[in-house]
Amino acid sequence: MSHAAESPDTLVVERVFAHPPEKLWRALTESPLLAQWMMSNDFEPVVGRRFRFRTEPVSHWSGVVDCEVLVVDPQRRLSYSWGVGESEAGLQWVVLWTLTPAEGGTHVRMEQSGFRPEQKANYQGAKYGWQKFFSGLERVAEGLE
């Protein structure tokens, strides 16, 4: 079960997964695995690495998320910027993943920060999207050896 916390500028989604941190870290940092549950990408877990997530374009969005890796603390923390292109006025957030061993598995916390008051629609869209992504993350982690 996941939980999404409400805050004016930060969205938090948390869940305990019945998998060790190593499996979840792989799903978060190996580009082909990340593509299975989130979006196609050219991610590498290297601080300073610029990368893109890509999906099908929709009305008012190109389907491209420009990112840069900010923190890599293996099996503990991963953070990257999350930017939506020029057509959306250069919207920019920060995503932080925290993995903590928990009874029966790993507590995963994702927080996306930097929402401004006028970005309620972006916040609601992110809330919906991250819940969906967490379900995909569970599916991918389940399939790992």
For the chain, give the mean pLDDT.
Answer: 90
User: What contacts 122, CB < 8 A, 6 or more positions away?
Assistant: 91, 115
Of 77, 82, 76, which is closest to residue 95 (Cα–Cα)?
Answer: 82
- pLDDT tens digits for range 99-117: 999 999 999 999 999 998 8
Domain boundaries, the chain: 2-142
* Cβ atoms < 10 Å from Cβ of 8: 9
Pick the CATH number of 2-142 from 3.40.50.1220, 3.40.50.620, 2.60.120.10, 3.30.530.20: 3.30.530.20
- The band of 87, judged by pLDDT with boundaries at 50, 70 and 90, is very low
Residues 22-50 pLDDT 10s: 999 999 999 999 999 999 999 999 999 99
Token duo for residue 120 = 């309620």
User: pLDDT value at position 84?
Assistant: 77
Q: Is 0.85 topped by the overall pTM? A: yes
